[in-house]
Homo-oligomer: A and B are copies of this chain.
Amino acid sequence: MDRVRVSILGATGLVGQWMIKLLANHPFIEVAGLSASPGKVGSKYGDVVHWFIPGDIPEYVRDMVLVSTDPADHKTVDVVLSALPNDVAWSAESKLVNAGINVVSNASPERMNPRIPLINPEVNWEHLNILREVKNNWIVKNPNCTAAIISMPLKPIQDLIDALHIVTLQAVSGAGYMGLSYLAIDGNVIPFIKGEEEKIDIEINKILGKQFLDRYEPWSRPIYVTATRVPVKYGHTAVIHAILNRDTDANQIIERLRGFRSLPQEKELPTAPREPIKVLDRVDAPQPARDLDPMAVSVGRVVTRNNVLRLVILGDNLVRGAAGITILTIETMKALGLL
């Protein structure tokens, strides 16, 4: 298979580090460039990164010299992966696209742009098909980490759902490495995450809807979300109470969740989980400290009562919710001949 050459924007941040880690020894994606904030450009990655994720810095990036986000520094790659902070992302990303460079981005700006596909590969890879009609260059966005995790188990039961009540218990790493001080969150629950509830609502509705060349048709279900931060390092938990359009046996739901497979599984893409939705039988599952899977979403406590379905779900906010989903998007696009 042809290799895909990529560069990574925001390579020293938490998501950038995970991208680098996940791409070490990738069968066909090759990291050809790393960019960081202006003060670090010109330095070797290993000299300036404060590596804080588990394991050592992969050898292959230690001596790579950091470049800027300017298009001139990314001429030779097939696609740029953006893990930029939200406040600077769009300015850099749009410059790249305008200069003829394709981008897959984790950053939030323009996710709801009607012409930009918002991709969670197993859930809505079909939305990528509009790129076949796009004349020039494109940008593809990945969803908010929580929307990425939640939309997965909703996909196979989408037709049953009238409305959703969601409460999230989100890990501290979702706010970045320095995002929350120990004094603020240890032994505490903070029942507010700026902008998060709106993103979860509208992004899930976009992902589960239809995408056309110049517009999208949302799923149009009311999604009531309360987002909280809990003292957990890695792994977002969400409790979902789904109002179904008909009484449904919990076993039927479990069967649909367990049986769910999509293009990434069929094509056996390297980063795809074999079983994208893991329904756990333990009565007290899923727990971030015990059940976290990098790319699959874990589901437990599946119960129906009247027409209300309850699911407790858990996903890795940095892998499935950020670095991994971007890489799986690239792999999916390659499999579809779009790269």
Tell me if A10 is interfacial: C-beta within 8 Å of chain B.
no
* CB under 8 Å from chain B, chain A span 145-185: 165, 167, 169, 172-173, 177-185
Q: Which of B52, B183, B188, B241 contacts A224 (CB 8 A)?
A: B241
Q: Which of B169, B177, B187, B308 contacts A187 (CB 8 A)?
A: B187
A172 to B183, CA, bound (A): 7
Tell me if A135 is interfacial: C-beta within 8 Å of chain B.
no
Q: In chain B, what residue has the closest Cβ to A188?
A: B289
A310 to B233, CA, bound (A): 27
Q: Is the CB of A186 within 8 A of B233?
A: yes
Question: Knowing A230-B189, A288-B187 touch, does A165 contact B283 (C-beta < 8 A)?
Answer: no
Q: Is the CB of B230 within 8 A of A284?
A: no
Q: A224-237 toward B: CB 8 Å interface, digit per residue (1/0)?
A: 10101011110001
Tell me if A306 is interfacial: C-beta within 8 Å of chain B.
yes
A282 to B188, CA, bound (A): 16
Q: Is the CB of A187 within 8 A of B289?
A: yes
User: Which residues of chain B are within 8 angstroms of A300 by Cβ–Cβ distance?
Assistant: 191
User: Which residues of chain B are within 8 angstroms of A179 by Cβ–Cβ distance?
Assistant: 181
User: Which residues of chain B are within 8 angstroms of A259 by Cβ–Cβ distance?
Assistant: none
User: Which residues of chain B are within 8 angstroms of A127 by Cβ–Cβ distance?
Assistant: none
- Could you list 12 further interchain pairs (A-B, Cβ under 8 angstroms) beyond the known A165-B308, A186-B231? A165-B241, A172-B183, A177-B184, A178-B181, A179-B181, A182-B182, A183-B233, A187-B233, A188-B287, A190-B287, A191-B239, A222-B306
Nearest 4 Cβ contacts at the A-B interface: A188-B289, A167-B167, A192-B284, A165-B165
Q: List 8 A-B contacts (CB under 8 A).
A: A165-B165, A182-B184, A189-B232, A191-B237, A191-B300, A224-B310, A231-B231, A241-B241
* Interface residues, chain A, with chain B CB atoms under 8 Å away: 52, 165, 167, 169, 172-173, 177-192, 222, 224, 226, 228, 230-233, 237, 239, 241, 283-290, 300-301, 305-306, 308, 310, 312
